[in-house]
Amino acid sequence: MKAMGPEDPGTSSSALRKWGPLAAIGVVVAVVAGILVLGSSSGGEDGEALDAPATTTAGRPTGAQLPEGVVSFSSAKEKGEEGSIDWGERCDTSTGRLALPLSPPPECFKPFTGDNGGATETGVTADSIKVVVYLPQANDPILSFIYKQIGNTDTPDKIWATYQGFSDLFSTYYETYGRKVELVRYDATGNIQDPVAATSDAETIARDVKPYAVLGGPNLTEAFADTLAANEVMCISCSPGQPNDWYEERGPYVWDIAKNTDQNSIMVAEYVGKRLAGGKAQYGGDAVKDQARKLGLVYLAATPKAQELNDKFVERLADYGVELTEQVSYTDPIALSGQARDVMARMKSKGVTTVLFTGDPLAPQTLTQNATEQDYFPEWVIMGTALVDTTIFARTYDQEQWKHAFGPSNLFARISPDVAGAGYLYRWYYGTPPPAQQSALVTPSLQLLYGVLQGAGPKVTHDQFRAIIFNSPIIASTVISPQISWGDRGIWPGTDYAGLDDQTEVWWDATATGQDEIGVDGTGMWSYAEGGKRYLPGQWPKGEPQLFGKAKNSVTLYTTLPPGITLPQYTPLKPAGG
């Protein structure tokens, strides 16, 4: 179906034309903070890179050995040698894990001595590994518009300071084989959707800075990641979400932590097919309540690729026997402000009881307001798109509408920052809060980098990075952390360059009170069904969701550690250089 928004680039909405999956935009949301703890990573003998490994039913690679010069605590224990190694103060030898308040904590690796081989890759010397941190413009109009909605006061300077702080923390504990990760700041020359500036920035970084890796990028255009990959520079969380084959074509240079767009589509189609199709709209307003469900879809179609992705999603729904009653697209949230009334009128006139929404986190403000004006209260089903499932954004939606909202989320049950998480880790180490509110977005890419480096050993190359991450054991989920894996694990079609594997089910509790993701008290919070129980693809249960008044064991925020999860307490080592 043709998008309803204007296509003239001269219109007032053009600044937000390329809104895509906002998985890594600079807003506060705990994507996978604090759980990227690669342990017994495996590579080839003599440090050679490996192809994607065979896996067991548990997802643990088989037939691979640690690279030369790499000794994990578990590998030493298997040989009965752990007691003869001085693991240093950073290691808790009673558990074989680093003495960090993380759950689960990373494994200890033997302190390295000797020759690390010197320069092994662009950006790698005997003493350092150069890593660029991409920062947005201080007055990026798109980010400023987003930040204003949610009260985020972060600046590039605060984000940079947070990166530096966490990097110093991780360098104190992770083994990097005689090299120090050298962070290099790079400030964007254009806004986060400008492909010309993104291409220029990537060329400048590749030509002049010559790093081993880049963290972050302008996440509303793929031009930055495309250009870096063409120049054989690796980046992490540097592009809007893409289809799986896009990452495969650019391997081993582009990595993501959140799901890719194909993976999310697969899981959401399964959810709709198993949980909603053929049922009754039991969670809608009085006019639709208990009617046989008729599904309508409102989706963001900013680019031809986005339209193709939606068409593929509709095909996946058809595999479950699901047919949509109505579909309506929009091009950006500003254009939607003039179209939302018609969008909701079409849904109402077609008898849609259940609106499936996938798009940016601002559009539901306009959609829900217009639905209320038309006295139309359907079920609202979110579809795993980033930030719509955060309390900080959901509180900006019409609450009479949103009290009918539920669906699958890629996030995980929230836990108080006084108990665990990125902010907790930073305060434990430094005694002060992190400079940036969005510290939970800083830690995943940094911790992934450090985790892979300590498994890669002295020979640091892009191929070795891929070998280690593809051969590392799957990180199992808990209710407060997702399952994480990359490579060929039998979980997804193709080779996986994105980390997060599972989802949980959420519903909007309009009466719950508490803090949002940046610590602001208010009313209305996402509630995690069954305490945040998570499902892998193929595991969504059949049958009606038991949510809202029917929900059992739902939780909005863990104020203590969930049962079965422990967080060891340690005295922090002296900060590097402190």
Q: What is the CATH number of the domain that holds 320?
A: 3.40.50.2300
On the question of pLDDT at 29 being above 80, the answer is no
On the question of pLDDT at 7 being above 50, the answer is no
Range of the domain at 160: 22-259+418-471
SS3 assignment, position 185: strand
Residues 163 and 306 in one domain: no
Q: Looking at residue 135, what is its pLDDT?
A: 95
Residue with tokens 């609106």: 355
Task: Work out the mean pLDDT of the chain and round it to a whole number.
Answer: 87
C-alpha–C-alpha distance, residues 469 and 326, integer Å = 42
Q: Say what percent of the chain tops pLDDT 90.
A: 73
Of residues 61 and 230, more confidently modeled: 230
Residues 221 and 304 in one domain: no
pLDDT band at 14, cuts 50/70/90? very low
C-alpha–C-alpha distance, residues 110 and 97, integer Å = 11
Omega within 30 of 0 (cis) for the link into 252: yes
Q: Which two tokens stand for residue 51?
A: 């192809």
Q: Say what percent of the chain tops pLDDT 70.
A: 86
On the question of pLDDT at 544 being above 70, the answer is yes
On the question of pLDDT at 342 being above 80, the answer is yes
Q: Looking at residue 578, what is its pLDDT?
A: 52
Q: Looking at residue 440, what is its pLDDT?
A: 78
Residues 333 and 405 in one domain: yes
Q: Within a domain: residue 104?
A: yes
On the question of pLDDT at 287 being above 60, the answer is yes
Q: Tell me the mean pLDDT in the region 338-359.
A: 96
Element (H, E) at 508: strand 503-515
Residues 237 and 145 in one domain: yes
C-alpha–C-alpha distance, residues 565 and 480, integer Å = 9
Residues 424 and 509 in one domain: no
Residues 364 and 309 in one domain: yes
Q: Within a domain: residue 544?
A: yes
Question: CB count, 10 Å around CB of 2?
Answer: 8
On the question of pLDDT at 335 being above 60, the answer is yes
Q: Tell me the mean pLDDT in the region 547-563.
A: 95
SS3 assignment, position 462: helix
Q: Within a domain: residue 480?
A: no
Q: Looking at residue 577, what is its pLDDT?
A: 52
Torsions phi, psi for 311 (to 5 deg) = -60, -40
